[in-house]
Amino acid sequence: MKAILIPDFVSDPSTLQPTSTPIPTPKPNQCLVRITYCSPQHADILHAQGKHQNNNKKRGWCFPPFVLGFDFAGEVVNSPRNGDVNTSAVFKKGDRVFGAALGAFAEYVCVDVQAIRKIPAALSDETACAMSGQAVSYASVVHIAKIKPGETVMVSGASGGLGSVCCMVAKALGAKVIALSGSADKISTIRETIGADLVLEMEGDWIEQVMGFTQGKGVDVMLDNTGMVNDAIRALAYFGRIVILGFAARKGVMEDVKMNKLLLKSVTVMGYRFGESGRRYPDELKKIWEGYLRMLETGQLKAPLYGKYTGLEDIGRALKDLEERRVCGKIVVKVASENETARL
C-alpha cells in the first residue's frame, strides 16, 4: 500500500511523500480499515519531527519507523469475530467507520475496535473524517462547562478544529458566542462558517469590545484552545468559568497565573483531557458520543471543510498549510473513493 512512512524523524514535514509499505496485519482486537479520507492536525507535524510528548523516549509510544497520521474515515475490510473481543462494538466487512489511530496517512490502517464508530447514514465519509476529532469540543461545552442557554461563551482558536466546533455546539445550546482569532484574514470565513454572534481579532482593544458586547458584565465561560488564561480572566464575568483545552499558541511555554486574580473574580478553572477522561469513564464517553453524533446527524454541526487536497501526495502541502496557520476549519485529504471495492 501507499503510506506516509517515517523511517526517521524529519525537520520539514512538508517534504513528505508516500512510499510503498506492506498492508498492516490486525491484532486480535483490531479491524483493518480501507481509508477513504484522512485529516491532518498539528500533532502530526510534531510526531513527524519527533517533538510531541508521544515521542518522549521514556513516556512515549511513537517512534520510527511508523506511518504518520491519526484521524480517518473508511470502510472495514475485516474485523474480529463476535466473542473474540471484549467490547459491544462489533463491525462487519463494508461498514463505514471513522476514528483515530496512528498510521492513518495510508491506504489501510489497523485500529482497535474501541477507537472507531459507525458513520451515521446521513453523513459522508468526508464529513465524518473532518469531525472525527471534535467530540472533545462537544464534551467541553456540554459536560464540562455545562453551558446554559443565554450564557455568553468566548472561544479562542475559533478558526481551528476544536474551536470551530466549540462555537457551533455552544450556539446550538442557545449561548451567545464570541469567536476569537489571531488572524484578520480569517474573520470573515469564521463568521460565515460558524455563525458566531461576535468574531474578534485579538488585537488592540479587543477585551474592551468583549466588555461592551456583554454590557460590562464579561463572559460567563471561556473555552481556551490556545493558552490565554490571563486574558480570559480579564474578559470574564464574576463567577465565570474557564475550560482549558489546549495551548496552540504557547509554543511549549506555559502561562503563569496569579492566584489572587482567580479569587478576586471567583473564577473556576477546569482542565479537560478528553482521551484520558474517556479511558477512565467509558460510560460518560458513550454519552458524549451519542450526544455529539445526534448533533451531527440533525445538522446542528456542519463540517468546517478547508481547501481541496487529493491523494497522499497532498499530505505535505496540507501539513505546510497547517504549520503556516493558513487553515480555517479542517483539512481532509481524499485517499480513495467511498464506493471502491476493497482489494482485500
Joined together, the cell numbers standing for residue 228 give 490565554
Site track for ligand NAP across 207-226, x = CB under 6 A: ------------------xx
CA distances from 8 to 21, 216, 290 (A): 15, 54, 39
Return the residues of window 126-145 that contact ligand NAP according to CB under 6 A.
136
Rule CB under 6 A: say whether 13 interacts with ligand NAP: no
Q: Give least dist CB 313 to ligand NAP, A.
A: 22
Part of the chain binding ligand NAP (CB under 6 A), chosen from 87-95, 112-120, 272-280, 293-301: 272-280
Does the protein bind ligand NAP through residue 182 (CB under 6 A)? yes
By CB under 6 A, residue 206 contacts ligand NAP: no
**Spatial CB neighbours of 121, under 8 Å, sequence gap ≥ 6:** none
The reply to whether 293 sits near ligand NAP by the rule CB under 6 A is no
For the bound state, the minimum distance from the C-beta of residue 55 to ligand NAP, rounded and expressed in Å, comes to 14
Least distance to ligand NAP, CB of residue 263, Å: 25
Q: Kindly state the cell numbers that stand for 28.
A: 486480535
Stretch that binds ligand NAP, among 76-84, 114-122, 229-237, 247-255 (CB under 6 A): 247-255
- Verify binding: residue 302, ligand NAP, rule CB under 6 A: no
State the DSSP code for 22: P
* Number of residues that make up the chain: 344
Interface with ligand NAP, residue 316, by CB under 6 A: no
**What is the closest distance, in whole angstroms, from the C-beta atom of residue 293 to ligand NAP in the complex?**
18
Residue 163 touching ligand NAP (CB under 6 A): yes
Q: Does 247 bind ligand NAP (CB under 6 A)?
A: yes
CB 325 to ligand NAP: min, Å: 4
Query: In Å, what is the CA distance from 131 to each residue of 111, 151, 183, 272, 292?
Result: 18, 25, 23, 19, 10
**Closest CB to ligand NAP among residues 160, 218:** 160
Q: Binding of ligand NAP at residue 18 (CB under 6 A)?
A: no
Rank residues 118 and 325 by Cβ distance to ligand NAP and give the closer one: 325
Piece of the chain touching ligand NAP by CB under 6 A; list 25-33, 110-118, 229-237, 242-250: 242-250
* Among the residue ranges 59-67, 153-161, 204-212, 302-310, the one whose residues contact ligand NAP (CB under 6 A): 153-161
Position among 148, 273, 280, 308 found at the interface with ligand NAP (CB under 6 A): 273
Number of Cβ within a 10 Å radius of residue 322: 21
Phi-psi domain of 120 (left: phi exceeds 0; alpha: psi -120 through 50; beta: other): beta
- Rounded (10°) angle between helices 42-49 and 315-323: 100
Asked whether the beta carbons of 152 and 173 are under 8 A apart, the reply is no
Q: How far is CA 241 from CA 85, 221, 285, in A?
A: 41, 5, 22
| Residue 172 Cβ vs ligand NAP, minimum distance, rounded to whole Å | 18
Backbone angles phi, psi at 191, to 5 degrees: -60, -45
DSSP label of 54 = G
Q: Which residue is nearest to ligand NAP (CB)?
A: 160
Q: Could you give the angle at the alpha carbon of 318 between the alpha carbons of 308 and 154, nearest 5°? A: 90
Locate 256 and state its grid cell. 503563569
45 binds ligand NAP (CB under 6 A): no
The phi-psi region of residue 6 (left if phi > 0; otherwise alpha if psi is between -120 and 50; otherwise beta) is beta
DSSP 145-165: S---TT-EEEESSTTSHHHHH
Considering CB under 6 A, how many residues would be counted as binding ligand NAP? Answer: 25
Residues that bind ligand NAP (CB under 6 A): 41-42, 136, 157, 159-163, 181-183, 186, 225-226, 245-249, 272-275, 325
